Copies of this chain bind each other. A is one copy, B any other.
Amino acid sequence: MSLHVPRGFLFASTTAGIKASGNPDVALVEAPAGANAAAMFTSNRVAAAPVTVGREHLRASRGNIRALIINAGNANCATGADGLAAARDSCSALASLLSVKSEQIFPSSTGIIGVPFPTAKLVDALPAVLANRRDDKAAVFDVARAIMTTDTRMKTHSTSFSIENQEVCVLGVAKGAGMIHPNMATLLVYLFTDLDAPVAQLRRVLRPAVGETFNTISIDGDTSTNDTVVLMASGASGVKARTLGDELAFKKAVTEVCASLAAQVVADGEGVVHSVLLQVDGAPSRAAADRIARTLAHSLLVKTAWAGADPNWGRLLAAVGRSGVSLDPNAVAIWIGGEKVCDHGAAVPFDSVAVHRRMSEPSYEIRVQVGRGDGAARILTSDLTAEYVRINADYST
């Protein structure tokens, strides 16, 4: 696996005993010379303590971050004032070991909600995780593995681009397997670049990159309390993106990394067997297309038909009809895996064996043409399997 590691960062993990499994559960990423950072957070009104503290620290440090400290196994959410104190104490302890200010530490947590945070376990593990710091690929993989919860695979992607013949690297590490929904859900995403970029530039690049990637995926329609995407720039390449063209190249690289991680998250969704790229066009407006796409992506009847590789376009049409968008059902056409299965709102002859075979593949496209409007939207989503139910009926998130 070819992974580029940007200069100016150290990666490490250790086992603090927070995960019941006994697997590594604490990760650290340090920028020894500091880094500029921008972040985006969950839209859920119930935000976990590390989200609140992360926001505060970014503001207080004006985006100057020295290290991320991440744990899996406990989300530190719905933990009240004790949870906020736990997140702050964890940051202070690490800041003290690194001789920096507490607000230069950015915390993240994922795991079970509503259980008191084991601050002592995390703090006791800090010397071990600091001792493990390295700047190689294996250390990046350690981080990617330590932040997994119900994820079955670690998720990383890197790319590079050039400014005036000098290479700049962008690396991403993510976790996420359930509660995935537009507007981000138990999605922890860490993006690192060695570009020398001011905070304002990071913000300009991060927002649209997230909007085009993580905010157009959905597994189960639930939105987590802990979603966080952070972009850190160490500046260690010595290269700046001064021109509009250079910034666009940077944005393209960040978007590529985000798109890859988003697709990996959907493919590794809890119990997911099929990823489906839903394309809606011909709607009265972009908002209408988006509403239809999300109604389809969240319909249990649609998602279970996908689990059975059942070319049941009637369920798609019925979901389009209940989306709340004003439309003429007799104008709707539907394609599954490139094959037209419905036209003018009614059946057309199609090769159901071939479509069933197409729907048995790990990923395929479904297109819904609503009418003759200009509105289009797309969303990357998944089927709903009995395995999803088993995972979520048995596991306390």
Contact = CB atoms under 8 A, between A and B. Distances in A.
Interface of A: 43-47, 75, 77-80, 82-83, 112-116, 178-179, 181, 220-225, 298-301, 304-305, 307-308, 310, 312-315, 317-322, 325-327, 329-330, 332, 342, 344-347, 384-390, 392-394, 396-397
B386 A300 contact: no
B222 A314 contact: no
19 contacts: A78-B318, A78-B345, A80-B330, A80-B345, A112-B314, A113-B314, A114-B317, A114-B342, A116-B347, A181-B322, A222-B301, A300-B384, A300-B388, A301-B392, A301-B397, A310-B393, A314-B396, A386-B390, A389-B389
Contacts of A83: 346
User: Residue among A79, A388, A392 with the most chain B CB within 10 A?
Assistant: A392
Judged by DSSP, the binding face of A is loop
B114 A396 contact: no
A178 to B, nearest CB: 7
A112 to B, nearest CB: 7
Contacts of A181: 322
Contacts of A79: 346-347
Contacts of A179: 301, 318
User: Residue among A313, A347, A393 with the most chain B CB within 10 A?
Assistant: A393
Contact of A397 (B47, B113, B312, B325): B312
Contacts of A388: 300, 304, 389
A45 B329 contact: yes
B312 A389 contact: no
A299 B179 CA distance: 10
User: Residue among A112, A114, A179, A332 with the most chain B CB within 10 A?
Assistant: A114
Contact of A223 (B45, B225, B322): B322
Given A114-B314, A301-B178, A322 B385 contact: no
A221 B300 contact: yes
A43 B325 CA distance: 12
A342 to B, nearest CB: 7
A310 to B, nearest CB: 6
Given A113-B314, A224-B318, 9 more contacts: A43-B322, A46-B321, A78-B318, A78-B342, A78-B347, A80-B330, A179-B318, A222-B315, A301-B397
